[in-house]
Structure 1
Amino acid sequence: MELVTERTVDGFRRELLRREYSHGTAESYVRSIRAFARWSGGAVDRGLVLTWKARLTAQYAPATVNAMLAGLNRFFDFAGRPECRVKVLRLQRRSFREAERELDRGEYRALVRTARTLGRERLALVMETICATGIRVGEVPYITVEAACRGRTDVALKGKVRTIFLPDRLCRRLLQYARKQKITSGEIFLTGGGKRLSRTQIWAEMKRLCRAAGVAAGKVFPHNLRHLFARTFYRACQDVVKLADILGHSSIETTRIYLLTTGTEHLRQLERLGLLC
């Protein structure tokens, strides 16, 4: 019997959501399963999974490989085939991140300005909302008219509830935009047809800005706005525990990843040590 079918994949997705995995994580796992099934032609055994792991390792960054393997391993547990599980790659702790992947404040402002110049006010405001609050792109639906009126919103995600505060200036912009769109209650960021704005649509719209804004496409994706918020907040207050609470991290080690400096900054710090005679 074929293991990866629409029925088993849909059942797996429902089980993840029942266990309160986020919709984003569930969809990511499903994409990994389908990618493997397309490559293997539907066949499943541990030898094939190991070969696929080797191919992924040759093509993608280790973190990406591990994310794909995590989805596949969980699916094998769900489908009653734990013998097909494989080990993820061991990752060495990194001390800095690549400059070509880091979005800086000037590039962020260029993206927002370009969006407004092109008449993409909704996109400009979505980017400002993510970057000014540190929310995940999947938490954008929690930005409602009511939240903008209160200056705060309660986010329930990944089995946790946390309060997100909205700066006054952002609230004024959100309410002004809502009035212009004739939105009197509920979610502010909607499509032209009144449906929820998806993370995929936000990602795609940001990518389309790159050339006009003069920002490298590799730096432009919603999660990088969250990283920019984290670095900026930490430089202002130097409190990693408070930052972890704001970002909704259970572990400060996760927050530490957001605070990695670029290799260029790392080198400048070494130069300032003055340890060469």
Structure 2
Amino acid sequence: MKSGARIEAFLEMMSAERGAADNTLSSYRRDLEDASEFLGGRLAEADAAAIRSYLDDIAGRGFAATSQARKLSALRQFFRFLYAEGLRSDDPTGILDSPKKDRPLPKTMSEAETGRLLDRAATEASETADGDSLAATRMHALVEVLYATGLRVSELVSLPLTVAMRDERFFVVRGKGDKDRMVPLSSKARTAMRAWLDQRNRDPRQADSVFLFPASSQSGHLPRQVFARDLKGLAARAGIASAKISPHVLRHAFASHLLQNGADLRAVQQLLGHSDISTTQIYTHVLEERLLKLVNEHHPLAD
């Protein structure tokens, strides 16, 4: 069996046995085919020295450490599959070190900036003339729900209409890997959502949609790029640099502000929908600052 056929067998296993998403399979295919091309189509027979040579090559091509680590991860899984299937007697990636990855701190906003953004959205929703009130009311609902829940932007814009129909303090959202999780909804977010629902249902172009934020797009709901663009405009009107904000920044603000105010890291992991606590640990700097403040304020020997 040649390398190409073994790559196909690996991808088939990942799809059938592990339920890998299409995007994940495409990523694996690109990474494995890139390595196979470098190795002259003999990826399945490669030894550790050959794999190391490939890793040196992609580093020389300027790939970031995160991309290098992703490619090595694909290779590790591929060779583990070959070993498990008896197609190889060894795993050449077992002795290779992962590239060192710098984990930059996530961009976020202060509580005061977030308050200004939400206040501006509320003001525009209540004061905008009829012609533009639909967009302003929708934006108010979007930012209130995003900050209240920490949803991924793709989860937010594709929320089903049923979320707004229940008027409950929690709702269930389907995230990455089709995993469901429960997220809280503040009273302000519920109020903003009800106001949007009232306007939405009076618009004949949107009333029949199954989405809370419908649009005449291919997906049927508001494209995340449109929301990101409109969010920057709202930020600018609130006196916040538009370059500083994105839907992902508001998600980070949700997590950071929870931790600053005493939330547990495991609880934040669950709310964000992170499958691994290591992903949530990018926020440990917030915990460190909180613990340092706690010691300085309450320890009897603190200066």
TM (normalized to structure 2)? 0.59
Matched, 1:54 2:59: yes
Q: Output aligned runs, 1:90-129, within 5 Å.
A: 90-91=100-101, 98=105, 101-105=107-111, 108=114, 113=120, 119=135, 122=138, 125-129=141-145
How far apart, in 2, do the equivalents of 1:143 and 1:261 lie? Answer: 30
Equivalent of 2:200, from 174, 178, 181?
181
Q: 1:143 to 1:262 in 2, by over 3 A?
A: same
> Which is greater in Rg?
2
Matched, 1:231 2:236: no
Q: How much does 1:142 deviate? A: 6.6
Correspondence for 2:11: 12
How far apart, in 1, do the equivalents of 2:113 and 2:12 lie? Answer: 37
Equivalent of 1:190, from 193, 202, 214?
214
Identical amino acids, percent of aligned pairs: 22
Q: How much does 1:77 deviate? A: 5.9
Q: Over residues 92-125 of structure 1, what are the superposed CA-to-partner deviations in whole Å (9 max), with x where a residue is unaligned?
A: 7x7xx548x3343455567665896995664554
- Give the letter aligned to residue 251 of structure 2: R
Q: 1:52 to 1:220 in 2, by over 3 A?
A: farther
Question: More deviation in 228-237 or 248-257?
Answer: 248-257
Q: Over residues 170-210 of structure 1, what are the superposed CA-to-partner deviations in whole Å (9 max), with x where a residue is unaligned?
A: 12322332343333673213332473448xx4256425754
Unaligned 5+ segments in structure 2 are 44-50, 202-206, 298-302
Correspondence for 2:99: 89
Q: Over residues 35-83 of structure 1, what are the superposed CA-to-partner deviations in whole Å (9 max), with x where a residue is unaligned?
A: 7757986855436631344246x452x3454245434544666688996
Matched, 1:215 2:247: no
How far apart, in 1, do the equivalents of 2:79 and 2:200 lie? Answer: 46
Correspondence for 1:144: 160
Correspondence for 1:164: 183
RMSD: 5.0
Unaligned 5+ segments in structure 1 are none
Q: How much does 1:133 deviate? A: 0.6
How far apart, in 2, do the equivalents of 1:65 and 1:215 lie? Answer: 33
Q: 1:20 to 1:48 in 2, by over 3 A?
A: same
Equivalent of 1:66, from 61, 65, 69?
69
- Give the letter aligned to residue 108 of structure 2: E
- Give the letter aligned to residue 215 of structure 1: A
Q: How much does 1:91 deviate? A: 4.7
Residues 148 and 172 in structure 1, CA contact (< 8 A), matched pair in contact too? no
How far apart, in 2, do the equivalents of 1:153 and 1:16 lie? Answer: 30
Q: Over residues 131-162 of structure 1, what are the superposed CA-to-partner deviations in whole Å (9 max), with x where a residue is unaligned?
A: 21122334336733322232232234447432
Structure with more contact order per residue of length (Cα contacts < 8 Å, sep ≥ 6)? 1
Residues 231 and 247 in structure 2, CA contact (< 8 A), matched pair in contact too? no
Count of residue pairs the alignment pairs up: 259
Q: 1:173 to 1:252 in 2, by over 3 A?
A: same
